[in-house]
Every structure is written in structure tokens, then in C-alpha cells.
Amino acid sequence: MAHCYYHALSSVRKWGGVVEDYLPLHQWFDQSKAIFADPRHRALRHHAEGIFMLETLFGPTIVNADNRVVPVRLVGEQHVREDLGTIPSFADWGRLITPQDWMLRGHRLDEPIPLGTVETAAGGAFSGGLSSASGGASVVEI
């Protein structure tokens, strides 16, 4: 489905109530569109663990406008099935990630890092000194 509103309409057809009863749950699944505006965003929450995270955040049930108690996990399962046709595990998504060199780098925490050097998130090093901001990039001085 293209939009959370349509997931919420589907929930109304299934359990009654109004769209507003379900919209926050469906929006939570698709917040990751802010990171990836394509189907890859689903890797972050569209899996079995994501459904359990939804339940942890919103509680085990909601009470809709018709005063009907609806299990949150069922709403999560509905969302993921409508988008993917099945409920994958996170491992199913993870198997599709091709490891990159920066993912495999590391160093022992007890190894000293040379003074004046800061390791970046990508595993490279930045040597401090005089610096100036350029091109909108943030610069670190040590």
C-alpha cells in the first residue's frame, strides 16, 4: 500500500472504529521513509521484531472508537502483510545486506589511538590541527 491512510482504512474494515484509531500505528511503520524514500525503508521495521516493537511502544491492545479491543500485534501483522505479502524476520532482511569494508573494520578498545587523531564512523581517521569550514562540511579540531 502506498500510504498509511489506506492501511488504516483496511484496519477499519477489519476491526471497526475510525481511521484515527489506527493511523499512529501504521505511521510508526512508515516513519523510516524519512531515511529511504523507496522500499528499502521497510528493512528497519517491516519484520517480526518490528511488529513486537510496535506492541512495546503502543501497548498490547488499543480500544477503537467502537469500543472494541484490538490487539496491536494483529494491526502490525496486517501492515507488514499488506506491504510484503508475508512477515519476514530481520534475518531475512539482513541476509540481503552486502557487507562493505567499513562494516568489518574495528580495533581493540585497549589499543591506544594516536594523539591528534579521531576515528570517524566510516573507520577512517581525521588528524586535528588548524581547520576551516568549507563546503558545508563540519570540521573537528583537536
Terminal alpha carbon distance of the chain: 49
**Over the stretch 73-102, which tens digit does the pLDDT of each residue have?**
999 999 999 999 999 999 999 999 998 888
Contact 13, 21 (CB under 8 A): no
User: Residue 130: what pLDDT?
Assistant: 42
- Regions of the chain short of the pLDDT cut 50: 126-142
User: Residue 128: what pLDDT?
Assistant: 46
User: Residue 83: what pLDDT?
Assistant: 96
User: Residue 9: what pLDDT?
Assistant: 97
User: Residue 110: what pLDDT?
Assistant: 81
What's the per-residue H, E or C state across the chain? CCCHHHHHHHHHHHHCCCHHHHHHHHHHHHHHHHCCCCHHHHHHCCCHHHHHHHHHHHCCEEECCCCCEEEHHHHHHHHHHHHHCCCCCHHHHHCCCCCCHHHHCCCCCCCCCCCCEEECCCCCEEECCCCCCCCCCCCCCC
